[in-house]
Amino acid sequence: MDPGRGENSSVPGKQSWSLNQRGLSAGTTGDYHGTPKAWRGTTSLGTLPLPVGTTTAHVDLIADDDTIFGRSE
C-alpha cells in the first residue's frame, strides 16, 4: 500500500487515504464517498463522527499524534 493513498488489500473494501508513522490509517469503506473510518493495522477502530448537519466526510491527513484532519459536507 502506498503510505499516502490507496486501497489496503488486507481489509476488503477499505480505502485508506492517510497513514501515519504509528500505524493509524483512516479513510472510507466502499468508495471515495463511503463511511469514514479509522484502523490500526487491520483492526477497525470504528466510524469517525460527522459534524452536526453533515452527511459525508473525507480524511485528508493523519498527524503523527493521531489527529485526523479532513473535510465534511
Query: Is there a domain that residue 17 lies in?
Result: yes
Residue 1 lies in a domain: no
pLDDT at 24: 93
What are 23-69's pLDDT values in tens digits? 999 888 776 667 888 999 888 899 999 889 988 888 889 999 999 99
Contact 32, 58 (CB under 8 A): yes
pTM for this predicted structure: 0.71
Q: Which domain holds residue 13?
A: 6-72
pLDDT tier at 9 (50, 70, 90 boundaries)? Answer: very low
In a domain, 49, yes or no: yes
* Number of domains the chain contains: 1
Q: Mind giving me the DSSP string for the chain?
A: --SSSEE-TTSTTEEEEEE-TTSEEEEEESSTTSEEEEEETTEEEEEPPPPTT---EEEEEE-TT--EEEEE-
Fill in the amino acid letter for 42.
T
